[in-house]
Amino acid sequence: ARAVQQTSRPDGAPGPEHFAEVELRLPDLTPGTALVENLWLSVDPYMRECMDGDWELDAPLEGRSIGRVVESRSPQLPVGSLVFHRDGWRTHTVLTPGQARVLPRYDGVPVESFLGVLGGTGLTAYVALTRIARLREGETVYVSAAAGGVGTAAGRLARLLGAGRVIGSAGTPEKVRALTEELGFDAAFDHRAGPSVAEQLRRIAPEGVDVCVENVGGAHLEAAIDNLREFGRIAWCGAISQYNDTTPPAAPRNLFDLVEKSGRLEGFLVANHGDAQRELEELLAPLLRDGGFTDRLSVTDGFDNAVEAFLSMLRGGNTGKAVVRLTEH
Ligand code: NDP
């Protein structure tokens, strides 16, 4: 199998020099194992954090992936089945049933959606809205990094779940246009242009926001607190603006506003909400099949381009969930 490994730790933004492609010798199949050919790799912001310590250097990397069983000595992993697993960053791997989820097949729903809206990305948005922020009908929802994987899912799910106004921010004029013209947002702004994020948010939501799906941290979290209405809730998913930083963030400086607004800021990890997966599939699979909901993926082709896809996502190169397609199928 071909594999990408991390070769050194970055100090600040990572680059291609921190990775190398190697040839991995896979173990022979023993009873209870299966050979999986990877079809889709997920590239995710949390991987930037893994680069600081969780990933061992010069060793196989963890990464979410979808593959097809091509040889099997396990009845639970029959040849041809499509599986979700965490042995990404390589073309092939050997798995036991405990390491793989055999994916259900929904007519008309592409398997890669299990890395998009039906996967951890969509689940993060769904949990943020339903379990953490407990969105109520008619409320105003603000999403940061709105053109990304979690963001595009959050905007459309908010609409589906009865939000009133749905607004978002993204890092280029093209993304801002896509948010309002293709992705169901009522209004959006470019967080890299114009006045501060807090000021831009105030301009498009003068009445404030009830619910925020916050993906960026720092000044973006400060802006969300600043513009939160009384009894508002911030579901804090991540802090992509900080993952390359080597010193603690200066913002938010306005945490006490939460007291004055009786507001709630709650962080969460989607890994602790696997029980919501079924609910999400029941909600979205029929809509994906009928075209009532489309998955927005940002696809990079070819295993050799996986590192670049990851680096590009960190720079904001993706609109929708960033994935790598390994083979035509
Ligand atoms: P995205 O698809 O949103 O990709 C990252 C995006 O972040 C980029 O496209 C870019 O968009 C934006 N970005 C990058 N750097 C900055 C910066 N300095 N300031 C502002 N925006 C920046 O990734 P995901 O949807 O996978 O993840 C979004 C967030 O959700 C991340 O923080 C991630 O860690 C978190 N997450 C949390 C989970 C959980 O369990 N809590 C699970 C999954 C994700 P732009 O051009 O618009 O700036």
* DSSP per residue, 182-208: TS--SEEEETTSSS-HHHHHHHH-TT-
166 backbone dihedrals φ, ψ, rounded to 5°: -125, 120
* Pocket flag, ligand 1, residue 44 (CB < 6 Å): yes
Residues 6+ positions from 245 with CB-CB distance below 8 Å: none
CATH assignment, 120-271: 3.40.50.720
* Same fold for the pair 2-115+296-325 and 120-271: no
Q: What is the DSSP letter of 320?
A: B
Q: Please report the pLDDT score of residue 315 as a whole number.
A: 97
* Pocket flag, ligand 1, residue 306 (CB < 6 Å): no
The residue ranges of DSSP E strands in 185-263, in sequence order, are: 187-190, 209-214, 228-236
Nearest-atom index, ligand 1, CA of 238: 32
Six-digit token string for 129 = 């809205």
Give dist(CA 31, CA 39) in Å, integer: 24
* Pocket flag, ligand 1, residue 121 (CB < 6 Å): yes
* Pocket flag, ligand 1, residue 270 (CB < 6 Å): yes
Q: What one-letter code names the amino acid at 57?
A: L
How high is the ipTM of this complex? 0.99
Ligand 1 centre from 318 Cα, in Å? 10
Six-digit token string for 110 = 């592409």
Using CA positions, which residue lies closest to atom 32 of ligand 1?
Answer: 238
- Which pairing describes strands 19-23 and 2-6: parallel, antiparallel, or unpaired? antiparallel
Cα 132 from chain centroid (whole Å): 17
Using CA positions, which residue lies closest to atom 15 of ligand 1?
Answer: 241
CATH assignment, 2-115+296-325: 3.90.180.10
Low-confidence spans in the chain with pLDDT less than 70 = 328-329
Q: What is the pLDDT of residues 84-135, one digit of tens each?
A: 999 999 999 999 999 999 999 999 999 999 999 999 999 999 999 999 999 9
Q: In the chain, what are the domain boundaries?
A: 2-115+296-325, 120-271
5 backbone dihedrals φ, ψ, rounded to 5°: -125, 160
* Pocket flag, ligand 1, residue 241 (CB < 6 Å): yes
Using CA positions, which residue lies closest to atom 19 of ligand 1?
Answer: 241
The residue ranges of DSSP E strands in 103-256, in sequence order, are: 141-143, 166-170, 187-190, 209-214, 228-236
Nearest-atom index, ligand 1, CA of 145: 47
Ligand 1 centre from 216 Cα, in Å? 6
Nearest-atom index, ligand 1, CA of 298: 2
Q: Please report the pLDDT score of residue 328 as a whole number.
A: 57
Give dist(CA 72, CA 152) in Å, integer: 37
Six-digit token string for 248 = 């603690």
Give dist(CA 248, CA 148) in Å, integer: 24
Give dist(CA 106, CA 118) in Å, integer: 11
Using CA positions, which residue lies closest to atom 8 of ligand 1?
Answer: 316
Nearest-atom index, ligand 1, CA of 149: 25
Question: Sign of the C-alpha dihedral, residues 317, 320, 323, 327?
Answer: negative
Give dist(CA 166, CA 154) in Å, integer: 9
Q: What one-letter code names the amino acid at 98?
A: G
- Which pairing describes strands 228-236 and 166-170: parallel, antiparallel, or unpaired? unpaired
Ligand 1 centre from 149 Cα, in Å? 8
Q: What is the pLDDT of residues 266-288, one digit of tens each?
A: 999 999 999 999 999 999 999 99
Q: Please report the pLDDT score of residue 56 as a whole number.
A: 98
Q: What is the pLDDT of residues 243-265, one digit of tens each?
A: 999 999 999 999 999 999 999 99
Look at residues 265, 233, 240, 4 and name the one whose alpha carbon lies nearest to residue 129: 233
* Pocket flag, ligand 1, residue 323 (CB < 6 Å): no
Using CA positions, which residue lies closest to atom 34 of ligand 1?
Answer: 238
